Amino acid sequence: MRRPQLLAAAGLALALAATSACSDSDDGGGSGANGNFASGGTFTFAVAGDPGTLNPLNNTATTANWLFRFLYQPLVVREEDGSVGPGLATKWDFDGTKAVFTIDPNATCSDGSKITPSVIAKNFAWVKEPKNTSTVIGATLPNRDFTFAADDAAGTFTLTLNGPFSNLLPSLSFMHQACGAGADNPAGLTTSSSGSGPFVLKTATPNSEYVMTKRDGFPGNDAAGVPDQVVMKIVDSESTAANLLLSGAINAAVVNGQDRARLTAAGATEKTYTSGGVVVSFNHREGRITADKAVRVALTQALDRGPVAKVVTQGLLPEAGTSVSAAQPQICDDSSAAAAIPSFDTAAAEATLTADGWTKGGDGVLTKGGKQLTFQLGYSTATPGAAAAAELMADAFGKIGAKATISPFAQADYTQRVFSTGDYDVMLQQFSNPFPSTLIGLLAGPFPPDGTNAGHVANKTYADAVAAARTATTQEAACQNWTAASKALFEEADMIPIASWPTNWVVKNAVMETLGGRPIAESVRLLQPK
């Protein structure tokens, strides 16, 4: 039942192979496509950081997800159009709170054991146990208040939530199911894997590389070009990854920056996915200069978001952002809300501030009531392109008489400020948020220490729309409310989208399909090196 996706991937691979075959003059004829696949061999892709723990039920980090995608399967997968497709479940039925999955009777684990509904149940049982503090809670499932039942005879697994959650199925695509011995003790998976994916973990060298071998007998694994081994290698620097790609030492890597040009020139293929968004958020806390709506609006008006988007995405997605959660495949298209963003107009920005009582001082900085319009413009040093974008923004703010002090924050410091202490004025933030709901805690709800609304945002329209969206039973109704929520944010200039966040996969001498920036394990094919 994975077949549709697999076939699609294989088909695309064939198409690509054919294209390259055409450019290959010494190869001709119909057999060329197969002839261009390498037989066996190792496919290596680079990631920037170590995935961390190898327990699939306790690691939802991006890189970990990429690795798990090769070793495990989720119940359902997402297709490129945003729809839900079959994973371990061949059939599913979801009414907003209760989901019934029919488990693929042919699915087997890497240790040869069968995958029955009770195996799936072990996974959910582990996740539900509070002492395991599974990260699946929060990231995939809204809370621990769910029940489940496995019926091995019928081959069904039933999950019941305590309230409506419209995003359940797409969310479950991020939950990789352990099987065999691993399902009994997922925390024991420190150097091995125990899953139903097309590959099995052979060696794990933290901070260096993870080597996986092909699982014989996995459907589609006998196709031409499927590598014997897949290696995930940790390469901190993008330039280095690019060098490795050029030298042929690796086959795929995420390269967003300047090195793309020489890679494509060398015959590598690239594909850009939107995996999140870059936003600027304003602190509403009393006493902060940005608590003043006029200031927030004026600063927004001062920004030409297009160039900032170009800089912060290093030229990959140069269009101004329209959504705070733009990850592909998008669950809701809320781009219509973007019309509510105060548009770029320096004169209007100045007028807004003049109307609010700000006057220009001798040094060109606006003042009101003896207070200068100066503020911190922060960003995380972990976000590439942010430093340059901050410089550009400070320059733009300067043009309307607002003085921004650029403040780079180390990631930990940044996290603490954004989520906890709220010690910032204007913050450039980058999220890899597949769902709009990710940001709720920041923009609504209790202030720290009881919550994470560190910026003290109190936008009732937004909060109400979000609540309506979360409990909506249909995707359509949910999306309408999400759009309304976004609109409310933009009108108040609480958080303004700057850009979509790209993940740009560059692949050389191989084929690898990705979804939302995540590699599709079954799509990997090695080509004969040119």
Is residue 317 a contact partner of residue 517, using CB atoms and an 8 Å limit?
no
Q: DSSP string of 358-407?
A: -EE-TTS-EEETTEE-EEEEEEETTSTTHHHHHHHHHHHHHHTT-EEEEE
CA 259 vs CA 69, 247, 272, 273, 389: distances in Å: 27, 13, 14, 17, 19
Is residue 73 a contact partner of residue 5, using CB atoms and an 8 Å limit?
no
d(CA 90, CA 404): 55
What is the identity of the amino acid at 60? T
Q: Which backbone phi and psi does 295 adopt, to 5 degrees?
A: -65, -45
How many Cβ atoms sit within 10 Å of the Cβ of residue 29? 8
Nearest to 78 by CA among 387, 388, 436, 327: 327
Instruction: Tell me whether residue 148 or residue 447 sits nearer to other proteins (CB atom).
Output: 447
d(CA 313, CA 101): 40
Under DSSP, is residue 197 helix (H, G, I), strand (E, B) or coil?
A: coil
Q: Which backbone phi and psi does 310 adopt, to 5 degrees?
A: -60, -45
Under DSSP, is residue 337 helix (H, G, I), strand (E, B) or coil?
A: helix
CA 249 vs CA 53, 102, 236, 242, 494: distances in Å: 26, 42, 15, 10, 46
For residue 244 the two structure tokens come to: 């490795």
| CA 58 remoteness from chain centre | 17
**First-to-final CA distance of the chain:** 34
Instruction: Tell me whether residue 240 or residue 473 sits nearer to other proteins (CB atom).
Output: 240
Instruction: Tell me whether residue 93 or residue 395 sits nearer to other proteins (CB atom).
Output: 395
How many Cβ atoms sit within 10 Å of the Cβ of residue 394? 16
The strand pairing partners of 214, in sequence order, are 199
Q: Please, what is the minimum distance in Å from the beta carbon of residue 406 to other proteins?
A: 6
b/e per residue, 343-368, with b = 16+ CB within 10 A? ebeeebbbebbeeeebeeeeeeebbb
How many Cβ atoms sit within 10 Å of the Cβ of residue 258? 12
Check residue 343 and report its DSSP letter.
Answer: P
Is residue 174 a contact partner of residue 140, using CB atoms and an 8 Å limit?
yes
d(CA 469, CA 360): 44
For residue 321 the two structure tokens come to: 């952002």
Residues binding other proteins (CB under 8 A): 50, 52, 205-208, 233-237, 239-244, 246-249, 257-259, 261-262, 307, 310-311, 314-315, 381-382, 385, 387-388, 390-392, 394-395, 406, 408, 410-413, 415-416, 418-421, 448-449, 452, 454
Check residue 155 and report its DSSP letter.
Answer: T
Is residue 164 a contact partner of residue 97, using CB atoms and an 8 Å limit?
yes
Is residue 378 a contact partner of residue 428, using CB atoms and an 8 Å limit?
yes
Q: Please, what is the minimum distance in Å from the beta carbon of residue 388 to other proteins?
A: 4
d(CA 119, CA 127): 13
